[in-house]
Structure 1
């Protein structure tokens, strides 16, 4: 496979959403499990918020997966050396590796989580 030279902004956005949304879901799932074990006085409110947020993220992720199918995009997670995580973008017969700084992944995930938690309020 050749190296990709030109990718549309929309396709790049689809790839990035397909990276970040599963991470957001993992964070929500982990936090929900911890909230279930916590001594919050009214913890069901927090659990409901996380569950509602999870549903919104899952809906958006399904839309992204549908777009990936339509645009014939494929994403594969590569190596994580503790500092960078590599992702492989496959698009129109081309392969393009991308390395994301783990701190950047964490910061962007935090921003997306804030967006989803405050959306519709």
Structure 2
């Protein structure tokens, strides 16, 4: 059983998801720059602004983790799972994340961040 409260676990998971999201956004930005789109600037600006927003939130998460003596480390991964080590106020916990779940969560976050400028 975990000793990490739900609200802090959400913040810890942000420390996992946000760097992954940044990686995807940077790759997409690179793909757009190399693409044959006639008008690249709007897409570039949208992704660049999203990157800045995600970086700002990641900085807040890192400050919170540091202030509260919490660490997150990626331990190992295979085709199906990625294991993370959570060091939480003297306790050590290992958590496995199903890789498709990680991918789906990154996709959800990407949709959320990209749509916040133009809510439906």
Q: TM-score, normalised by structure 1?
A: 0.94
Alpha-carbon distance, 1:5 to partner: 3.8
Show structure 1 runs of 5+ residues with no match.
Answer: none
Whether 1:11 aligns to 2:19 is: no
- RMSD value, Cα: 1.0
Secondary structure of the equivalent of 1:39? coil
1:96 — aligned with what? 93
- Larger relative CO (CA 8 A, sep 6+): 1 or 2? 1
Residue 76 of structure 1 aligns to a residue in which SS?
A: strand
Match of 2:60 in 1: 63
Q: Matched residue of 2:97: which SS?
A: strand
Tell me what 2:36 maps to: 39
SS in 2 for 1:97: strand
- The two structures have a TM-score, normalised by structure 2, of 0.95
* Consecutive unaligned residues in structure 2, runs of 5 or more: none
Q: Secondary structure at the match of 2:57?
A: helix
Corresponding residue to 1:24 among 17, 21, 24: 21
1:120: how far off?
A: 3.0
Task: Provide the rounded CA distance (Å) in 2 between the counterparts of 1:70 and 1:105.
Answer: 26
